[in-house]
């Protein structure tokens, strides 16, 4: 009878240890910062051509749009945006926030997103100047 009780207590102890480890892994996973980053190419209408009356008429412009979504459960602070080139260099210029009320640095709450847009011409020119034009694959969809 004592052997059966000892076996049951040992199994309960092992079960408690396993549940404790699982609980710690879940807590650790929840505290990790997780971001989903997407980049797309678009052709949109932007005011670029002077209309002679002090304003600008719309023209088709090729842009890169970078979107980041906080998929984790903890807030994340965004300090800057840009592209990392194949050689590891950062290309930060030319990206502006989609909305004026969301400027960097920005605290991104869980589930929130932020989008920046950049004219493709200076980005592609910088890629070519850095010798990366043949190492970057871009597709139009």
- Summarised one tens digit per residue, pLDDT across range 34-78 is 888 888 888 888 777 777 787 888 888 888 888 889 888 888 888
Give the contacts of 29 (CB within 8 A, at least 6 positions apart). none
- Three-state helix/strand/coil letters over 26-91: HHHHHHCCCEEEEEEEEEEEEEEEECCCCCEEEEEEEEEEEEEEECCCCCEEECCCCEECCCCCEE
Q: Are residues 61 and 122 in the same domain?
A: yes
List the domain range (segments joined by +) for residue 21.
1-31
Q: Are residues 8 and 41 in the same domain?
A: no
pLDDT tens-place string over residues 90-116 = 776 666 666 666 777 888 888 888 888
Residue-level pLDDT at 138: 43
Alpha carbons within 13 A on the beta-carbon side of 100: 0
Residue-level pLDDT at 136: 54
Residue-level pLDDT at 118: 80
**pLDDT at residue 140 is higher than 60:** no
pLDDT tens-place string over residues 5-18 = 888 888 888 988 88
Q: Are residues 39 and 108 in the same domain?
A: yes
Q: Are residues 73 and 124 in the same domain?
A: yes
């Amino acid at each position: 009878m004592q052997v059966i009780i000892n076996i049951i207590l040992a199994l309960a102890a092992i079960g408690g240890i396993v549940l404790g480890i699982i609980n710690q892994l879940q807590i650790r996973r929840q505290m990790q910062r997780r971001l989903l980053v997407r980049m797309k190419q678009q052709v949109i209408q932007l005011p670029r051509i002077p209309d002679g009356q002090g304003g600008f008429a719309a023209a088709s412009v090729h842009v890169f749009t970078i979107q980041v979504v906080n998929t984790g459960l903890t807030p994340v602070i965004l300090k800057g945006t840009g592209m990392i080139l194949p050689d590891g260099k950062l290309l930060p210029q030319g990206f502006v926030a989609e909305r004026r009320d969301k400027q960097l640095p920005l605290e991104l709450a869980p589930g929130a997103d932020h989008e920046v847009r950049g004219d493709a011409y200076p980005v592609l020119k910088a890629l070519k100047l850095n010798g990366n034009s043949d190492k970057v694959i871009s597709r139009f969809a």
